[in-house]
Structure 1
């Protein structure tokens, strides 16, 4: 499931716990016949892996066009399929979800990628003071949506591969998303920092409610700090600006960020042992 909104549940990245997650409510749009030829499948004749499906029409039309033009989910599916061997077919389905958020549904084995979530993220960055180059807001939104795909796919992998872990599943899913982003090099590090910024913006926009402490997700502000910590931990010398005054990581925490990053990376390396096509 995603970032918290005013009612205590976020509009982006995180997934529901494997045993209790619920996906977006099924949309009423009919599948576009033209999509059949464009749905992405890794490997000729492969029956498993991540594929992207679009449900067009109604509220989903604008979000679908945005995702398809930029191939955000298609590229995410490619990276996932190039990284891990999955015997099951796991569709990433773009549809209108109503009031629900992006989520993996263990009953259907699909990730529902909600059009409403896409528009929310785009609006958040469009209205924020970017203080950057023209177009940065759009690039940041695309990065956050890519992270959402990885986060929800982590829930799918945990369920479909029967992975066993310790800690909270939502935190573990965030860690895989961070690993897959930061593993892309400098461009991926910038994407992970865009995710940190999005969580920070969400924290600023949403008044704190004590009920948030009961949620399965970490608080938005905490998740912003976590992503920044992973980026700094992966490459401390080129991200010194993240630490201290004006940064997203305190000096005390920065000392442990390299260990936090290595634990996230090596943890997923161990979880996916026997399924990996390449190291994460």
Structure 2
């Protein structure tokens, strides 16, 4: 999942955080209603599906308290369970990993959700500058980025545990799943996807590209930022005209293909999960 390198723009953070202030408070509509109606127990009673486990000590209290108080992973697990029938137990294990590198572990069948990643995202936003962080926006931004992490790593888990056959690079396919899970939430989900794009853009600014980054299994962070913005625009072009052109995050040439890119991402996952979807994504 790591946000490492690429080319980005700080303007994207400003736009995403502004959207998060209005969108994340007003539009937790479709998926949140499903989560409330079908709330799951995140303990030992669940035989299958996604669950949450906390395995942290006092040194990780800051990150753990942040996750627990906002139920970020619990809500993500609910949405995943409300979307996909999973016969296997797939826990998000919150723990100290020694590095901010959350990942699905095929050996354990669990997602290691690293507290270092939580701290990294919170610190990145804190250092972004007051001008880039509207009042009340930073917290919504961080929560959105962590939710995107959960869906991305959840996609890796689904691919492994359900033996899904896909084309392309798995990391790109996982990003597409995360985008679908976010944008499916309506206006609030658009804001969350743009927050994820903004974080990738900020991560890209932090480190120059070197040759090893070109060999990595992930796309460059700047590319991932552009892809998320493209999916948001492609899903609702009329709603997001401001993303295109000068001052936007999608070039006019790329914008022409964004609706098709979004449709391919969404339909691709619908096909992968045929027979396992509880509702269409």
TM-score by length of 2: 0.85
| Residues 1-280 of structure 1 mapped to structure 2, 5 A cutoff | 1-4=1-4, 41=41, 46-99=46-99, 101-129=101-129, 130-280=131-281
How many residues of Structure 1 are paired with residues of Structure 2 in the alignment? 248
Instruction: Please list the CA deviations of residues 108-151 of structure 1 after superposition, one character each: whole Å capped at 9, or x if unmatched.
Output: 00000000000000011111135353121111011000000000
Instruction: Please list the CA deviations of residues 209-239 of structure 1 after superposition, one character each: whole Å capped at 9, or x if unmatched.
Output: 1111000000000000000000000000110
Instruction: Please list the CA deviations of residues 37-94 of structure 1 after superposition, one character each: whole Å capped at 9, or x if unmatched.
Output: xxx6479954100000011314321111000000000000000000000000000000
Q: Which has the higher helix share?
A: 2
The separation in 1 between residues aligned to 2:64 and 2:43, in whole angstroms, is: 24
Q: 1:105 to 1:179 in 2, by over 3 A?
A: same
The separation in 2 between residues aligned to 1:254 and 1:104, in whole angstroms, is: 32
The separation in 2 between residues aligned to 1:259 and 1:197, in whole angstroms, is: 22
SS of the equivalent of 2:3 reads: strand
SS of the equivalent of 1:117 reads: helix
Q: Which range moves more in the overlay, 125-134 or 52-61?
A: 125-134
Runs of 4+ with >2 A deviation: 40-46, 129-133
**How large is the RMSD of aligned CA atoms in angstroms?**
1.9
Structure 2 counterpart of 1:13? none
Given that residues 41 and 49 in structure 1 are in contact (C-alpha distance below 8 angstroms), is that contact kept between their aligned partners in structure 2? no
The separation in 1 between residues aligned to 2:182 and 2:233, in whole angstroms, is: 13
The separation in 2 between residues aligned to 1:3 and 1:271, in whole angstroms, is: 26
The separation in 2 between residues aligned to 1:167 and 1:229, in whole angstroms, is: 18
The separation in 1 between residues aligned to 2:159 and 2:90, in whole angstroms, is: 12
Q: 1:251 to 1:93 in 2, by over 3 A?
A: same
SS of the equivalent of 2:259 reads: helix
Q: Taking CA–CA contacts closer than 8 Å with sequence separation of 6 or more, which of the two structures ends up with the larger relative contact order?
A: 2
